[in-house]
Amino acid sequence: MNARRRQDLSDNVATKARILDAAEHLFADRGFDATSLRTITTEANVNLAAVNYHFGTKAGLLEEVFKRRVEPLNEERLVRLSKLQEESGADAPSVEAILTTFIEPALRVSRDPAHGGMVFMRLLGRSYAEPNEQIRRFMPELYRDIEIQYGEALGAAVPHLAVEDLYWRMHFVVGTIAYTMAGTDALQLLASCPYCDPDDVEGITERLVTFLSAGMKA
Amino acid sequence: MNARRRQDLSDNVATKARILDAAEHLFADRGFDATSLRTITTEANVNLAAVNYHFGTKAGLLEEVFKRRVEPLNEERLVRLSKLQEESGADAPSVEAILTTFIEPALRVSRDPAHGGMVFMRLLGRSYAEPNEQIRRFMPELYRDIEIQYGEALGAAVPHLAVEDLYWRMHFVVGTIAYTMAGTDALQLLASCPYCDPDDVEGITERLVTFLSAGMKA
DNA sequence: GTCTATAGTCAGATAGAC
DNA sequence: GTCTATCTGACTATAGAC
């Protein structure tokens, strides 16, 4: 009996996870609208009706795909930011150090296939610019604490900046990171760079921090 | 007879233009997949079959929507860049001056409703991150000359930079501009900024140039 | 919790009259 | 060049057996 229940539970979890994995991958590759439930359930090796059973609607599935990755990611960012602020004592942490606590957790995720890896990062990057109603509704919620905490930290790091300048620059920072995550080959706009390796995540991170810190302090 | 022919021609042009206008607006608001030909033709006050008659397919319409705006925009950019280089003579133009020739034409377009205005800019910004096959195919073509000319100009302006660093920074620049154009309220991620006015296009341009130039020269 | 079968809707595209 | 009418196919979602 217990074995049976465990089996049921494990199947249940595995089914949900398989759907989430397939959806994540397909949404990242083709976009939300262009991905049908049929394609998702086929790739996940589950029945077509399973999505509606487990997630209610296709939009519900999309939301779960994001929540599963973004919540732990942002928690880690806030923990690192707190630690950094404690270590700095009375001094405000540097812009570089603050941005590093924001970017490095994303870097870690992007290298860990078990947490979505580059696939989810691509999806996340694209989502910042998407008109999809569902995404526009729940994403700001997922980022509320991030905005507040990083706004305060960066404000202390560049106190000479007017408030509106600070916010615009934070906006630019987020945009740059989002587009970089969305895939360096997103539009192959810079297709001709023979030296650029999109898989060199550490190198990109370093370049991002350098570039963004300079802009932030300008 | 002549009057009749002129009328036909004018109807033809007006029909195509009305379809393009409606499609541009609806694609920008809802995205490509989420916009049906029925919605477009209804808003344009033309018959459903007109899209297929004039543009072949829905994808063909999308391509025309982009071409109509991007080609003149990029031509103006290249003219300004050339002029700037002539004026500078043997000296390389500054990063700020180069970026200004890139951003200002977009600014001008965004203020001119007759050329698409903010609506098209939003669509264009989003398109950089879109997985749509059609867009990924024709956009790099539209930007080939831009990439070459600006790559050379910026390379001369920051000669200390390694080639791969230059390309990455160009990528960051394009990403930031695209994201900013995609709509400052794209995800309302920075919703809480009480001072930020998304309609203050000159102010945003100035801030963009400052931010990006600092990053470029870091 | 999983499956089959299907309802109900809407999509892009075209044939053929005018 | 424009229109009506319609084809064909795909989609999400659900009811109900197991």
- pLDDT > 90 fraction of chain A, expressed in percent and rounded: 63
Hey, are the CB atoms on B135 and A174 less than 8 Å from each other? no
- Average confidence score pLDDT of chain A: 89
User: Alpha helices, DSSP H only, in chain B?
Assistant: 2-30, 37-44, 49-55, 58-88, 95-111, 117-127, 133-142, 144-157, 163-181, 201-217
The Cα–Cα gap between A11 and B211 comes to: 51
* B-chain residues near A126 (CB < 8 A): 129-131
pLDDT classification of A25: cutoffs 50, 70, 90: very high
For residue A184, the model assigns a pLDDT of: 54
pLDDT tens digits, B16-60: 999 999 999 999 999 999 999 999 999 999 999 999 999 999 999
pLDDT tens-digit map of A134-172: 888 898 889 999 999 999 999 999 999 999 899 899 989
Under the banding of pLDDT at 50, 70 and 90, the label for residue A111 is confident
pLDDT of A161 reads 96
Using CA of residue A178, residue A179, residue A184, residue A185, what is the dihedral sign?
positive
Least confident of A152-166, B48-62, B71-85, B197-211: B197-211
DSSP A115: G
Whether pLDDT at A16 is above 80: yes
Q: What is the pLDDT of residues B169-192, one digit of tens each?
A: 998 998 899 888 876 555 555 555
pLDDT band at B199 (very low <50, low <70, confident <90, very high): confident
Contact A78, A145 (CB under 8 A): yes
Task: Match 């000159």 to its residue by tokens.
Answer: B202
Exposed/middle/buried for B93, CB within 10 Å: 0-12, 13-18, 19+? buried
Tokens of A14: 């595995």
pLDDT at B192: 58
Task: Report which secondary-structure segment, H or E, holds A150.
Answer: helix A144-157
Domain boundaries, chain A: 1-56, 65-217
Is it true that A1-56 and A65-217 share their CATH fold? no
A142 touches strand D (CB under 7 A): no
pLDDT digit string, tens, across residues A182-202: 865 555 555 556 677 877 888
B47 Cβ contacts chain D strand, under 7 Å: yes
CATH of domain B65-217: 1.10.357.10
- What distance in Å separates the CA atoms of residue A179 and residue A77, rounded to the nearest whole number? 19
Rounded Cα distance, B132 and A34, in Å: 9
Distance CA B54, CA B205 (A): 37
Kind plus residue range of the DSSP H or E element containing B162? none
CA of B68 to C1' of D8 (A): 33
Measuring from the CA of residue B45 to each C1' atom, give the nucleotide at the shortest distance: D2
Longest dimension (CA), chain B: 67
Label residue B89 exposed, middle or buried (CB < 10 Å: 0-12, 13-18, 19+).
exposed
CATH superfamily membership of B1-56: Homeodomain-like (1.10.10.60)
Determine whether the interchain pair A196/B130 forms a contact, defined as Cβ–Cβ distance below 8 Å: no
- Using CB atoms and an 8 Å cut-off, which of residues 26-45 of chain A contact chain B? 28-31, 33-34
